[in-house]
Amino acid sequence: MVLMNNKDKYDQMKYNRCGQSGILLPAVSLGLWHNFGGVDTLENSRAMAITAFNLGITHFDLANNYGPPPGSAEENFGQILKKDLANHRDELIISTKAGYLMWPGPYGKGGSKKYLLASLDQSLKRMGLEYVDIFYSHCPDPQTPIEETMDALTHAIRQGKAIYAGISSYSADQTQKASDILNQMQTHCLIHQPSYSMLNRWPEDGLLDVLEKQGIGCITFCPLAQGLLTDKYLNGIPADSRAAKPHGFLTSDKITSDLLKKITLLNNLAKNRGQSLAQMALAWILKDSRITSVLIGASNPRQIEENVKTLNNLNFTKEELTAIDEILK
């Protein structure tokens, strides 16, 4: 895989403003949750990262626990950065997160300032970076005052180890409170990262309204419901799919006959639009102006290329949207 030195890649990608900030993010970003860890081949990970950048994807999203094993995605991405992307660091938005379990003992997970800042130092070391562009609180921690967690994000920025603060999987009320606290600390919350897809629409219940009001961007993870919103499972469970692997959250028992009926109907609708189901599912999220970017996962470069083609058709008719809602009822 060759890194193309053409500036035209930025013309073929759509970039959206992140909330009320000065940052533009690609409409399609690459998440390194799956297929970038220690159980995967580095060459395939490298090929996917280079393919993404060649297509104008400037945002690479990581977390301390991405792998498996935890930390390995950051280590592998660090190697890719050093070998291929080091000269393009200022063209990239690199994010990482902390919140879930990373090491034993009482300081290896949660929302404490101790854990978050120690984890960020470890992440920077694994990737060989002096700073990340976005540092997230990966999840709310009910055992830690939210003021302490937001103070940790602010401290990371003031240390120069992160440029922007983000939160992930916070409810609408938690997001409002986190944003208010950060504003009091003179640290704007740049972005929120919720799970969101046709099959998982919880952000519509107040969260997106809070983000719009607070001027916070939104980047969605699992927009394809870990591959369910593709044609991958219409004829059984492929051996190389997530549902067939021993690690991950998608298991074969979640692929029910009722779900397959819905996916089949959605797939037929997508064909009528001249898109794959995956492309329609991504376009469906991006139709909302409050969404800055969708985070895609991939197992090979071709999937990234196909997902970026989503941008060729982002418009829906009222009839199409009604039909989608009817299918998903």
135 in Cβ contact with 106 (< 8 Å): no
CB atoms within 10 A of CB 103: 14
The whole-number pLDDT of residue 233 equals 79
Percent of the chain with pLDDT over 70: 95
Give the least confident one: 228-232, 304-308, 322-326.
228-232
Task: State the number of CA atoms in the 13 A half-sphere of 265 facing the CB.
Answer: 14
The whole-number pLDDT of residue 244 equals 47
Helix 113-127 to helix 146-158 angle (10° resolution) is: 40
226 in Cβ contact with 263 (< 8 Å): no
Contacts (Cβ under 8 Å, ≥6 apart) of 78:
126, 127, 128, 129
Compute the average pLDDT of residues 19-30: 98
Structure tokens that stand for 82 in this block: 């050093």
Q: Rounded to whole angstroms, how far apart are CA atoms 37 and 175?
A: 30
Confidence of residue 1 (pLDDT cuts 50, 70, 90): confident
φ, ψ for residue 191, nearest 5 deg: -155, 150
The whole-number pLDDT of residue 252 equals 63
The whole-number pLDDT of residue 248 equals 53
Task: Provide the 3-class DSSP secondary structure of residue 4.
Answer: coil
The whole-number pLDDT of residue 3 equals 84
41 in Cβ contact with 72 (< 8 Å): no
The whole-number pLDDT of residue 4 equals 78
φ, ψ for residue 285, nearest 5 deg: -70, -45
Percent of the chain with pLDDT over 90: 87
Question: What is the sign, positive or negative, of the torsion defined by CA atoms of 147, 113, 127, 304?
Answer: negative
126 in Cβ contact with 74 (< 8 Å): yes
Q: Rounded to whole angstroms, how far apart are CA atoms 191 and 215?
A: 9
The whole-number pLDDT of residue 251 equals 59
Please check the confidence at residue 238 and state whether its pLDDT lies above 80: no
Task: Provide the 3-class DSSP secondary structure of residue 321.
Answer: helix
297 in Cβ contact with 306 (< 8 Å): no
The whole-number pLDDT of residue 237 equals 59
Contacts (Cβ under 8 Å, ≥6 apart) of 37:
66, 67, 68, 69, 72, 73, 76
Please check the confidence at residue 171 and state whether its pLDDT lies above 80: yes
Give the least confident one: 162-166, 223-227, 237-241.
237-241
211 in Cβ contact with 182 (< 8 Å): no
Please check the confidence at residue 249 and state whether its pLDDT lies above 60: no
The whole-number pLDDT of residue 242 equals 53
Task: Note the pLDDT tens digit of each residue in 134-161.
Answer: 999 999 999 999 999 999 999 999 999 9
Task: Note the pLDDT tens digit of each residue in 267-279.
Answer: 999 999 999 999 9
**H or E stretch at 61:** strand 59-61
Give the least confident one: 101-110, 215-224, 251-260.
251-260
φ, ψ for residue 60, nearest 5 deg: -120, 120
Location of structure tokens 């159980």: 39
Q: Domains in the chain, please, with CATH?
A: 9-234+276-315 (3.20.20.100)
Q: Rounded to whole angstroms, how far apart are CA atoms 224 and 206?
A: 22
Confidence of residue 280 (pLDDT cuts 50, 70, 90): very high
